[in-house]
Chain A
């Protein structure tokens, strides 16, 4: 009985999580006579096709490409920086604890202020804001601290005797990292990539004031809510969600196959 109640509770929780998306999914799968609100008039994939018609919904394809490249760049940088930073932190240099707290507290600074700060800094330096410069920076303020936190946890559990054994057997620092440390933390790096990409792909607030002339996907979608009056908007939501789910599935698959070793 209790088990049943708990199951029901969990089902409700999942429904709560996916309920809003279910409405979007349903409304995106309509025929040409579909509208922005319920009831659904007819079933079809018309609006999914309409997403790729530039004149109807703005430049979805380009903004998607921008967000994709931005996400990949964020992942690459976050991995490199977080691994290096956590290895430095592991060595416990003087002042490392203060730096740790500063890093963590940067996460609680309101995102819009960070965006504003980056915007103003670029203005002072007289540099044009752009999605691949100031926008990338804004994403990194959000993703790198998270990646760093994860890596700290990973290295906390990392048995230092593996590295000592490698050194004992004649490996230098570089070989030790290549041969022992990197293969062992690889599954965790997939985890960081997954989180970094997800955080970047739907980042809105920090990017809002610094993306420059061209929008990232979330900014583009937000823009559309004011001027697109057809279910193509929902169709776009469905497509980007499918893309996110695919990325997560790929990430989990990679994580599983790597950590099975």
Chain B
């Protein structure tokens, strides 16, 4: 198998460009989002910054000394497992959570002490928090009413935004009469109608079923581009973060592990945690035994117990403990075992055995075991390629990958 054909997981974790077609299969319950942008509704986006922000709940530290810059007009996803502090960070930006130390900036304004309504932000809550006793119209109108906007302008703006999300006909209904996708659009309309500079979204897609989620993802992205707003979204869903974001912020235990574009994150996770969290990476922990140059690029030789030496690009101090990772789609499986005796700095190789094969559609997932250490590994191939490879369960193989595809993970 050649390296070019072995990149099937890009089909699953698609870049932002490809999702915009995902809303093409509109269902009747959600209707279609009209495509014309209403220039009148557009406001100026503002960037958001956290400066050494810490949040403590009594003795528990939820956010520790976090500094982050989100550019104006970016779609930013705060990504991480539950309890990593991503929601707390979002709520501090929105003003629903007080900051223990540090500063929050929106545009060039310090808003640390301001209440939510004075920050020019709007929040779309998890499960939307639409007021159940108010009609759709009253829900969307609420923010404008609180801002004492004139009756005539309110009528115009609410009508306009309901039309934009394609739900004018639901104006007199109560939220519980709407489908999940419709409720999500109303929540979006309610947040956008006040013309915020930054829109905050707390797990906006988690209440929807899989198909609808993919479609609403496309619509969120479209609205963000149409309104040219800064969107900050909390999610624990890697695919969602990849497909939506200009900027992904991976959080872990109240700290930021990596800020990167989805492609950077996918190709070069910065830590073991990130490599594990974004999914299926094969990680080897070891010790730096040599630094060298491979093809003129600064590289590291890692000695991994039971496996031998692995080469990856990067720089590190000698004898430091570290790890390296390789994506399951960037390896090759070679039935020819004879090269095993001769390690090379160009190609990493590990003897493995096939444990299990799972055909999941486009992609076939192959579970491998490194028999010397008992470590399990994952290999992903395009199903079409795998079917032609003629490899069977139990077969001993040689897993190989280049130093270039091997990501160095300092610890």
A residues contacting B by CB (< 8 A) are 159, 161-162, 164-171, 175, 179-180, 183-184, 261
Contact = CB atoms under 8 A, between A and B. Distances in A.
Contact of A170 (B96, B127, B143): B143
Given A166-B142, A167-B116, A170-B146, A161 B129 contact: yes
B386 interface: no
A170 B117 contact: yes
Nearest to B138: A179
Interface stretch (B118-126, B342-350, B400-408): B118-126
Contacts of A159: 129
B266 interface: no
Contact of B174 (A162, A168, A171, A261): A261
B147 interface: yes
B114 to A, nearest CB: 12
A179 B125 contact: no
B238 to A, nearest CB: 25
Interface of B: 94, 96, 115-117, 121-123, 125-127, 129-133, 142-143, 146-147, 174, 190, 194
A167 B125 contact: no
Contact of A169 (B96, B174, B190): B190
Given A164-B125, A165-B125, 13 more contacts: A161-B129, A164-B96, A165-B130, A168-B94, A168-B116, A168-B122, A169-B190, A170-B147, A171-B142, A184-B132, A184-B133, A261-B132, A261-B133
A28 to B, nearest CB: 44
13 contacts: A162-B131, A164-B123, A165-B129, A166-B131, A167-B96, A167-B116, A168-B94, A168-B117, A168-B122, A169-B117, A175-B146, A180-B131, A183-B133
B127 A161 contact: yes
A175 B131 CA distance: 14
A168 B96 contact: yes
B125 A161 contact: yes
B123 A168 contact: yes
A164 B194 CA distance: 16
A169 B121 CA distance: 9
Contacts of A165: 123, 125, 129-131
A175 B146 CA distance: 8
Contacts of B133: 183-184, 261
Contacts of B174: 261
A175 B117 CA distance: 13
A175 B143 CA distance: 11
Nearest to A167: B116
Contacts of B125: 161, 164-165
A161 B126 contact: yes
Contacts of B190: 169
Nearest to B91: A164
B129 A169 contact: no
A161 B123 CA distance: 11
A10 B129 CA distance: 42
A260 to B, nearest CB: 10
Contacts of B194: 169-170
Nearest to B121: A168
Nearest to A161: B129
Q: Which 3 A-B pairs have the closest CB atoms?
A: A169-B143, A170-B146, A170-B117
Contacts of B132: 184, 261
Contacts of A162: 129, 131
A164 B129 contact: yes
Contacts of B142: 166, 169, 171, 179
A167 B115 contact: yes
A92 to B, nearest CB: 12
A165 B117 CA distance: 10
Contacts of B143: 169-170
A111 B190 CA distance: 52
A162 B139 CA distance: 11
A257 B123 CA distance: 32
Name which of A161, A180, A183 has the most chain B CB atoms within 10 A of its CB.
Answer: A161
B135 to A, nearest CB: 10
Contacts of A169: 117, 122, 142-143, 146, 190, 194
